[in-house]
Structure 1
């Protein structure tokens, strides 16, 4: 039986039965997963193994797998200067019934626990040492090189996407040309970093992106806690003050303020306010 790519079901793995998938992962990787440690997200399920490692299982439709593949965690293993769980191996297979692929990556455990949910509602207790490690890691990531292209929200980031996203919400912004593309994590939120020891994980979407994407993404995830958003901006001031960083600020604000915005989102007003400031700065040259 054949399927068109458009026939793929929209699936939320927080609700979808995955027992058969996890059984296959256990058999392939020759380990047992601890169901008591399972973390279920919209497109992934993770759990601790009986050998003291972590396995993350992801389901991805064919049309969300770019030409570069979807081996982000594997390819991130060669990055220098960025603390992250060491990659051990993987298993990948095509679903027998749907136009989707499954992938399970095994890594070392985190040196701490996730800071929080992706978008925080209260300020976390983070040490100055943590913030130093955070800044040094983003600087080190930018010094690496790759041919990969970042896929934030599984969408390949291009100049066209940046222009379309920004002008779709802020039509007064005429010049959206990005000057500098550098390696970025592309999903930098509070659920993908550990504390008290800093580590950055979930590398599925990393690749080259406009300078400032990571800083702007984390800032946007912090907007419900003004002091935290301010700290994120201070820590990455050199990114935010660059022209590309201002464009990335508008890029993430467009996601908050665009047609898919949630009216109850506490980030709407601070995003709108900051976007107006950034637009004025760009127009002033």
Structure 2
């Protein structure tokens, strides 16, 4: 039988969570500092008396897929990636609801989150910060994993990439992904720290088309043109690949698609870049001026 849960029961911003936090504290043998508790819709977090952070998540059983929900635990083995050290967890199934609870304990962040998922002003990051970003993303892409990334809580597949891109951009270019590499899959300005670079919130990480992380951070920067340009410069190796161009269209499709917000300041720069990338991808398929060749030229070349 499927249990019905009201909106207030599901929203941890308004639902009493004292019993949940007490259970976690007993299991992990910590004491939470009461003035540090942060409550979100499905997540509660707090600092402990031993200088660590505990993230508690409530998730419906139907949302726990083959990917699992142990992203932070699995990410703990990644070499060369700047992230808070993971210490342990406690997981249990709720006795009254069709949900599970999970609490992960990790080191405190090395700095504050840079900002919201989408920035409206330049955060003034140092060259050292950009170096940390590049080192971590390069190290992450060199790892091996059986996990598959879930950007926006949806498993990324060849079919989902094609569907998203084709829903907004016409044909004339191939949408086949050539290289899949491990990615954070939720890289935005709310999940990185400064002034010391750190990357957190690893629930969605796994294999994804090359360039997804770089394109995602660029999309989060489009309201600040200089910042978006800096992301493209720093990650130019990703953006220069065919898959990186495809991921640029993938993130642009989220901004320009049917659910786009009419006042989104990212819309116009996303549209301009998408037009440019579409032409580049078409040129790759059909070499010639503006991506167009005659049948004779195509036959002579191929």
* 1:165 shift after superposition: 1.0
- 1:60 and 2:63 equivalent? no
- 1:260 and 2:259 equivalent? yes
RMSD, aligned CA: 1.8
Listed one character per residue, the Cα deviations across residues 5-27 of structure 1 (whole Å, up to 9, x for unaligned) are xx666644444443332232222
2:230 partner SS: helix
Distance across 2 between alignment mates of 1:40 and 1:91: 19
Partner of 1:153: 152
Aligned partners of 2:173 and 2:278 also within 8 Å: no
Bigger shift: 37-46 or 141-150?
37-46
Listed one character per residue, the Cα deviations across residues 105-161 of structure 1 (whole Å, up to 9, x for unaligned) are 000111111111111111102111111111011111111111111111221111111
Aligned partners of 1:141 and 1:184 also within 8 Å: yes
2:220 partner SS: helix
Distance across 2 between alignment mates of 1:283 and 1:40: 47
What TM-score, normalized to structure 2? 0.88
Listed one character per residue, the Cα deviations across residues 20-50 of structure 1 (whole Å, up to 9, x for unaligned) are 3223222222212223223334432221111
2:280 partner SS: helix
Aligned partners of 1:219 and 1:233 also within 8 Å: yes
Aligned partners of 1:169 and 1:257 also within 8 Å: yes
- 1:227 and 2:226 equivalent? yes
Distance across 2 between alignment mates of 1:256 and 1:95: 37
Would you say how many aligned residue pairs link Structure 1 and Structure 2? 282
Partner of 1:238: 237
Listed one character per residue, the Cα deviations across residues 168-205 of structure 1 (whole Å, up to 9, x for unaligned) are 12233552100000010111111111111111111111
Partner of 1:109: 108
Distance across 1 between alignment mates of 2:5 and 2:283: 46
1:91 partner SS: strand
Aligned partners of 1:46 and 1:55 also within 8 Å: yes
5 Å-filtered alignment, 1:72-151, equals: 72-151=71-150
In structure 2, relative to structure 1, the CA distance for the partners of 1:8 and 1:165 (3 Å cut) is farther
Partner of 1:217: 216
Partner of 2:291: none
Distance across 2 between alignment mates of 1:173 and 1:34: 57
Aligned partners of 1:66 and 1:156 also within 8 Å: no
Any unmatched runs of 5+ in structure 1? none
Partner of 1:206: 205
Aligned partners of 1:110 and 1:199 also within 8 Å: yes
Partner of 1:190: 189
In structure 2, relative to structure 1, the CA distance for the partners of 1:118 and 1:172 (3 Å cut) is same
Partner of 1:70: 69
Greater C-alpha Rg: 2
Aligned partners of 2:173 and 2:282 also within 8 Å: no
In structure 2, relative to structure 1, the CA distance for the partners of 1:92 and 1:125 (3 Å cut) is same
Distance across 2 between alignment mates of 1:245 and 1:8: 41
5 Å-filtered alignment, 1:7-18, equals: 11-18=10-17
